Structure 1
């Protein structure tokens, strides 16, 4: 069997439905009974908390408007100061984290 891979959502949904409905019913069992007897997933408390956190973060804004305004004002009035030592330190910390 060959299929064109187009990366579309519809193709992924179609493949998912094919995978779900591929269980063969044993003798005397209807296809509807076979689908109902499919595997189930039960999430742990930690997984449920992670899902809740993901929902909260997806609804949160990535931009803090108050911080943007404060930086904008500091730039306009000349009071914004760059600390090269702090920048270098954070870059080295990130490098250490990436190297393990």
Structure 2
């Protein structure tokens, strides 16, 4: 099977530049009226879920990346020897992560 590659685009695919509602405007012409008419017809309506996600994103972006209270609690537990390591929980989470990465 072969396909012929031609150097020109079909008539339907040609690009029309500088036209608004069938009128061609010159390079120096004022186009603000046409642009505002196009922008005025655009609208955006968010669903309740999208609004909730937007609120959550704002909350998370303002929250600190590190919980300093938790870091200090772990530091104190390590220093006084009361930090408990649960090897079964660590192994289980490593296996879960491996399965998620494997797909």
Q: TM-score range by the shorter chain?
A: 0.5 to 0.7
Q: Could you tell me whether the CA contact under 8 Å between 2:18 and 2:24 is conserved in 1?
A: no
What TM-score do the two structures reach when normalised by structure 1? Answer: 0.63
The aligned runs of 1:1-100 (5 Å cut-off) are: 24-26=19-21, 27=23, 31-36=31-36, 37-38=38-39, 39-100=42-103
Paired residues in the alignment total 79
5+ long unaligned stretches in structure 2: 1-16
Higher helix residue share: 1
Aligned Cα root-mean-square deviation (Å): 2.5
What displacement does 1:87 show? 0.5
What TM-score do the two structures reach when normalised by structure 2? Answer: 0.62
Higher alpha-carbon Rg: 2
5+ long unaligned stretches in structure 1: 1-21
